Structure 1
Amino acid sequence: MMKKKTGLYFILLILLSGLLNEAVAQPFLLQSKGQAKPFSLNIYYGSGGKGAFVQYSGHKGIIPLTIKSCVTDTSDGNRFTSYIWNEVLEGKITGTYGLTEGLRTIEDAWYVRGRDQKKFILEHIEAPGKYDGVDQYLLHGTRIAFNHFYSDTLIFRYPDKSVHIIELPEIVQSGGARQSHIGDYNFDGYDDVAFSVSDAGMGVYQEFQIYVYDPVQKQFYRMKEPDYTKKSHCACLCDVRLDARKKELSTACRGGARWWRDVWKYKGRKLIYVRSEEVND
């Protein structure tokens, strides 16, 4: 029974990795419909619609968006996620954006202008040429730039104009992609950002680098990997999951014929070992 469950888990991870690599590329280029003078914009966002902003064509400035709702529907066997964001300028809501994202599709995109509640219908326009892999987020006023495919450079551009450039682990799997994640990895109420790539072996795991936001210093710093004790089974930040209720971070890996999950608590900028669990599902 264990071998069957382990095999199913192995297959599921491979299928999930394939789906992630086939996800619709960011950003999305949207253009207004039915306007005498049409306008276009790029919209950027990460996990759960967080880290979002828009940049209108022909303009250098960006407009921050805050996620209002994120709802996923899988009732018909397909996965569609609908997002609604508030447009925020100088601390005031000046408009609302919405769209529904499927696998390689954008539907029902719109913008409502705050001052007169006029609604603009937007359509997804395929950008010319091959997607260059460039993506960006806006978190805590910091503009975060990276590449899903062709570059390992990570750039933090802070509100005080300072810039921090980092090299991320390279993508070693042929045809692989760098995944990006936004979540509260140290459970302090502030969203952080993480990046993951498939491991250099069989490509079964996603190996993470996590950058935690410090609200006092107003900068991101890399989360240190834990002291992998003799009790822990995983020797990397692999397939990281968060349990917000218990304020626990877990990693998962394969040891022999078994899959294990190590559970950690974050204290004093360190991950402290809590327990290990055998994965039976």
Structure 2
Amino acid sequence: MKNLFLFCMIMISALISAQPFILKSVGEAKEFRLKIYYGTQGKGAFVQYSGKKEIIPLQIKSFQVDTDGRRDGEPDIHYYVWNEMIGEKINGVYTLEMIDDSASNITYTRAKDGRKFTLEMVEGEKYDGSDRYLLHGAVLAFNHSYNNHFIIVYPDGKKTAIELPSPDKPSFARQSIIEDYNFDGYDDIAFSVPDDGMGVYRMYDIYLYHPGSKRFEKLKEPDYSHSSCSCLCDVTVDKKKKLLTTGCRGGARWHQDLYRYGKNGNLEWISTKEQTEE
């Protein structure tokens, strides 16, 4: 049962990753179209208007998840509100509701006169698994399904090309997570794929953003000589205690390893917990 639940969650997450949203105006004398890209909890977002090369940052204003009032198995509703930023000024506000891979109740309110525009998804647009985020001024381009290329284009024009691990099975999709993995106040980017066995846990590659160099660098893996899991698997963060937890399964046991960052900035193993699967 646990394996089935995890598989369903993987498939749901893959659907939620179906971006960008291609939108069009409703009821306007002259229709306009745009794409909205965003990541975890609405972070890393930007908008690109049809026919325009430039992109406009979207600053997440609020993010909420409604889990109430529905039967078991029904999807949650995600609510997003973004400020459209031009320079340091708010140019407008976007709102959007999402269930699985469908967006609704989409609006844009123009700041200069308060005029509200209604938007809707463009039907029939096929998603190819490609995505882009805007994080710390850098554009991060990758693909959830069809290739393993990860390209970072920095604000100074410099570009870095990285090859990500490939999912073991074609039916599995890559997940992307925006999170502060080293607790320095700057969001980082992580990618995960199912393990090479049964796909019961996910293996992570984490790229930390360094504000000094204004570059992303891959997180150095810890010494696994004392840990039960020899990978960064099912990584979760404890922001309050500034700890990372990894999890994996071996035989009928689930293992959790706890790490903290040492003075040298490297992850250091603290302890391991084990739980027998019944």
By how many angstroms is 1:266 displaced? 2.0
Deviation at 1:24, TM superposition (A): 5.2
Q: Does 1:215 align with 2:227?
A: no
In structure 1, what residue type is equivalent to 2:48? Q
Q: 1:259 to 1:163 in 2, by over 3 A?
A: same
Instruction: Provide the C-alpha distance between the structure 1 equivalents of 2:210 and 2:17, rounded to a whole number of angstroms.
Output: 31
1:50 to 39, 43, 54: 43
**In structure 1, C-alpha distance between the alignment counterparts of 2:86 and 2:123, rounded to whole Å:** 28
- Asked if the contact 1:183–1:191 (Cα under 8 Å) also holds between the matched residues in 2, the reply is yes
**Residue in structure 2 matched with residue 68 of structure 1 by the alignment:** 61
Distance 1:110 1:68 in 2: 14
One-letter amino acid of the counterpart of residue 255, structure 2: W
Aligned to 1:203: 199
- 1:21 and 2:18 aligned: no
Normalised by the length of structure 1, the TM-score is 0.93
Alpha-carbon displacement from aligned partner over 1:83-133 (angstroms, at most 9, x marks no partner) = 0001111111111111001012111101011101110011011353x3211
Shift of 1:142: 0.3
**Which residue of the partner structure matches residue 256 of structure 2?**
261
The 5 Å alignment of 1:55-204 reads: 55-77=48-70, 78-128=75-125, 130-204=126-200
Tell me how far apart the structure 2 counterparts of residues 10 and 149 of structure 1 sit (CA, whole Å).
22
Q: 1:256 to 1:92 in 2, by over 3 A?
A: same
Q: For residues 273 and 125 of structure 1, what CA distance do their matches in structure 2 show?
A: 48
Shift of the 243–259 alpha-carbon distance from structure 1 to 2, 3 Å rule, reads same
Give unpaired runs (5+ residues) of structure 2. Answer: none
Secondary structure of the residue aligned to 1:11 is helix
TM-score (norm 2): 0.94
Q: Alignment length, in residue pairs?
A: 272
Q: Gaps (5+ residues) in structure 1?
A: 1-7
Deviation string, structure 1 residues 124-170 (Cα, Å, up to 9, x no partner): 11353x32111000000000000011110000000000000000001
CA contact (8 A) 2:201 2:249 kept: no
The answer as to whether partners of 1:24 and 1:105 remain within 8 angstroms in 2 is: no
Please list the CA deviations of residues 35-70 of structure 1 after superposition, one character each: whole Å capped at 9, or x if unmatched: 001111000000000000000000000000110100
CA distance, structure 2, for counterparts of residue 127 and residue 60 of structure 1: 23
| Distance across 2 between alignment mates of 1:26 and 1:207 | 22
Aligned residue for 1:156, secondary structure, equals strand
Structural RMSD (CA): 1.4
The answer on whether the counterparts of 1:223 and 1:269 sit within 8 Å (CA) in structure 2 is no
Q: Could you give the per-residue CA deviations for residues 176-211 of structure 1, whole angstroms, max 9, x where no partner exists?
A: 111100000000000000001111111111111000
Report the alpha carbon displacement of residue 258 of structure 1 after superposing the two structures with TM.
1.3
